[in-house]
């Protein structure tokens, strides 16, 4: 079995499926280009827990964890089967690495997971479970989670991390269209991340808050922490960067794919 890539996507606002066609096309293209996984472990910015927690749900519900968007979005579902065996395997790997972790009996898929999955695997026929972030834990701690989970790549599992390369609501123009020029500081930080990711400089990335506009790009860290899980699981592979247009002028929609031994 070939080693599966690690994927990070900036999932954008909840209405990305309706209002970000180029990002959706990017996710669809990634889903078509990578080997078909046996199962998916999704790590989203929208689930934080006391300990890393994986869901045992055999049929995860589609969680509409947002309000104020189109009824069309609220009516969408993603009825993929669950992956309880994968959940148990992920927790076993974390435990073996010395990280306390636990299982959740039935947590579903939040929009950070099901929105990009709806484009990547539209038939909803690949089993998926979600793993939480760790509340108040550092980028380095999430990088270590990814390192512990890396063996899953050789077991037919796609590690899919979803969050956002920039996530400052004060940077957003809710009336901006895809052809709107991005906010300069958002573009600069996104390019800084890309520069250091492409060279494999994990140390600089882990200290991103010292980068130009790093702290401003993430007033809170939860939307970048999935990136560090992916970076750890990449195990030194270098990524390919995908750059759909910014959403609302300040929300970088960059996606990264770490493929075994490749990257550009």
Nearest to 78 by CA among 130, 38, 35: 130
Q: Looking at the predicted structure, is the pLDDT value of residue 264 above 70?
A: no
3-class DSSP assignment, residue 50: coil
Say which CATH class 6-258 falls into: alpha beta
Nearest to 189 by CA among 219, 163, 215, 207: 215
Q: Looking at the predicted structure, is the pLDDT value of residue 151 above 50?
A: yes
Beta carbons of 242 and 26 less than 8 angstroms apart:
yes
Beta carbons of 45 and 222 less than 8 angstroms apart:
yes
pLDDT at 222: 98
- Which of 48-52, 65-69, 104-108, 128-132 has the least mean pLDDT? 65-69
Mean pLDDT, residues 60-86 = 96
**Residue 263's pLDDT band (cuts 50, 70, 90):** very low
**pLDDT more than 90, % of the chain:** 92
User: Which residues have C-beta within 8 Å of that of residue 47, sequence separation ≥ 6?
Assistant: 53, 107, 110, 112, 130, 132, 133
To the nearest whole number, what is the mean pLDDT of the chain?
Answer: 95
**Residue 1's pLDDT band (cuts 50, 70, 90):** low
Tell me if the pTM is above 0.85.
Answer: yes
| CB-side neighbour CA atoms (13 Å) of 154 | 5
Mean pLDDT, residues 129-138 = 98
Q: pLDDT for 114-125, tens place per residue?
A: 999 999 999 999
DSSP state of 106: S
For 154-203, give the DSSP string. Answer: GGTEEEEEEE-S---GGG--TT--TTSPPPHHHHHHHHHHHHHHHTT-HH
pLDDT at 206: 98
Q: Looking at the predicted structure, is the pLDDT value of residue 200 above 80?
A: yes
Q: Where are the domains of the chain?
A: 6-258
Q: pLDDT for 152-170, tens place per residue?
A: 999 999 999 999 999 999 9
Beta carbons of 82 and 60 less than 8 angstroms apart:
yes
**pLDDT more than 70, % of the chain:** 98
Q: Looking at the predicted structure, is the pLDDT value of residue 178 above 90?
A: no
pLDDT at 143: 98
Q: Looking at the predicted structure, is the pLDDT value of residue 23 above 70?
A: yes
Q: Looking at the predicted structure, is the pLDDT value of residue 260 above 90?
A: no
């Amino acid at each position: 079995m070939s080693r599966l890539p690690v994927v990070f996507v900036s999932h954008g606002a909840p209405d990305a499926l309706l209002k970000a066609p180029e990002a959706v096309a990017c996710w669809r293209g990634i889903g078509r280009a990578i080997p078909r996984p046996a199962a998916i472990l999704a790590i989203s910015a929208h689930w934080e827990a006391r300990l890393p927690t994986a869901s045992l749900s055999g049929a995860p519900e589609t969680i509409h964890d947002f309000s104020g968007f189109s009824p069309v979005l609220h009516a969408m579902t993603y009825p993929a089967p669950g992956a309880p065996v994968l959940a148990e395997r992920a927790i076993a790997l974390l435990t073996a690495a010395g990280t306390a972790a636990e299982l959740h009996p039935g947590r579903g898929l939040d929009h950070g997971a099901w929105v990009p999955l709806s484009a990547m695997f539209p038939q909803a026929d690949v089993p998926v479970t979600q793993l939480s972030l760790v509340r108040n834990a550092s980028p380095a701690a999430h990088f270590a989670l990814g390192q512990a989970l890396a063996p899953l790549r050789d077991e037919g599992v796609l590690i899919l991390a979803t969050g956002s390369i920039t996530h400052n609501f004060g940077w957003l123009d809710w009336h901006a269209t895809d052809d709107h020029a991005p906010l300069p500081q958002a573009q600069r930080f996104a390019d800084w991340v890309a520069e250091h990711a492409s060279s494999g400089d994990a140390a600089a990335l882990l200290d991103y808050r010292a980068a130009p506009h790093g702290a401003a790009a993430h007033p809170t860290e939860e939307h970048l922490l999935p990136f560090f899980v992916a970076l750890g699981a990449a195990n030194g592979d270098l990524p390919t960067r995908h750059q759909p247009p910014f959403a609302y002028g300040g929300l970088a929609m960059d996606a990264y794919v770490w493929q075994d031994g490749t990257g550009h």
